[in-house]
Amino acid sequence: MLDGKKTLFSGMQATGNLTLGNYLGALKNWVSIADEYQTFYSVVDMHSITVRQDPAELRKRARTLLTLYIAAGLDPEKNCIYYQSHVSGHAELAWILNCFTYMGELSRMTQFKDKAAKHADNINAGLFTYPVLMAADILLYQADVVPVGIDQKQHLEITRDIAMRFNSVYGDVFTIPEVYIGKSGAKIMSLQDPSKKMSKSDENPNGSIYLMDDPDTIIRKCKRAVTDSEAVVRYREEQPGIKNLIDIYCACLDKIPAEAEREFDGKGYGEFKAAVGEAVVSVLKPLQDRFADLTKNKDYLDSVIKNNAEKAAYFSNKTLRKVQKKVGFPERIR
């Protein structure tokens, strides 16, 4: 616990382009809780290389992602926003935690199985030990809470297991993190297949709205969204396409589904889809404008990257040195 506040850690991978789902489901919530916690928000570029990346593209996407964090409203003076690869403690702690993690635990990780199936030609050790690096990310800052989606919940569980195992041997070293329970972010589904989550890696470009999409593209994608033949705007499981559009509309305008149902009672899908598109544009336009301003200010971004890396290293080193001492590594001569 720092400055009397609980500590929160989270991060996103520097791969693909962030979608509206990433913003409404996570990033928007990060901004809303920024004052409640001591926060560390990482661009987890080390995780990204479990799948082969083009080096120049990875650097570009990492900087874009960090800039988007700020453009979305995260103040880098209040939130530690940094590149994972700029803080060596992540890799150092991950190695130690590898020695406290069992092969059987890692082999049961569903995300490893999924990614191994998708990348059969590159089933590398990093893909297998990905959850250990994630554990290091979290435990390095003694995080009390971690906001995670369903696909990452298993990784938080193994993080807790590793931390408790280490503590049982060496005493009270790590804070045992809990799942962040707060206002849940909107779960945004694909516009073309509402049974699947909106994804950065969707092969159908009409399935996802990207944060940098221009207004015409956003409205066009909303108009092309899959619906049904019932022709009524109702928030129910039997109409997954309409339900998803209502979720998007309400998340953008801070409304509840019942309000959207009343507003569009007796109106057609065309009018509703157009309104959803306009709502998305109204939310993303300020973010896009702020992003454009930030990218013009290279010196400012560079100072944020440098200062926040130093801040992250300061806090991470406190944990890392304690862990190194506990396992018996020789003290460093200063």
Q: Decide if 5 is catalytic.
A: no
What is the side-by-side strand order in the sheet with 79-83?
A: 79-83, 38-43, 7-12, 145-146, 178-179
Please spell the DSSP secondary structure of 2-39, one letter per residue. BTTB-EEEEEE-SSS--BHHHIIIIIHHHHHTTTTSEE
Of 28, 78, 113, 115, the active-site residue reads 115
Which of 6, 200, 255, 326 is labelled catalytic? 200
Q: Can 306 be counted among the known catalytic residues?
A: no
Concerning whether 326 is annotated as a catalytic residue, the answer is: no
Buried/exposed 112-142: b ≥16 CB within 10 Å, e otherwise? beebeeeeeeeeeeebbbbbbbbbbbbbbbb
Distance CA 205, CA 162 (A): 39
Active-site pick, 60, 113, 187, 197: 197
Catalytic amino acids? Answer: 115, 197, 200
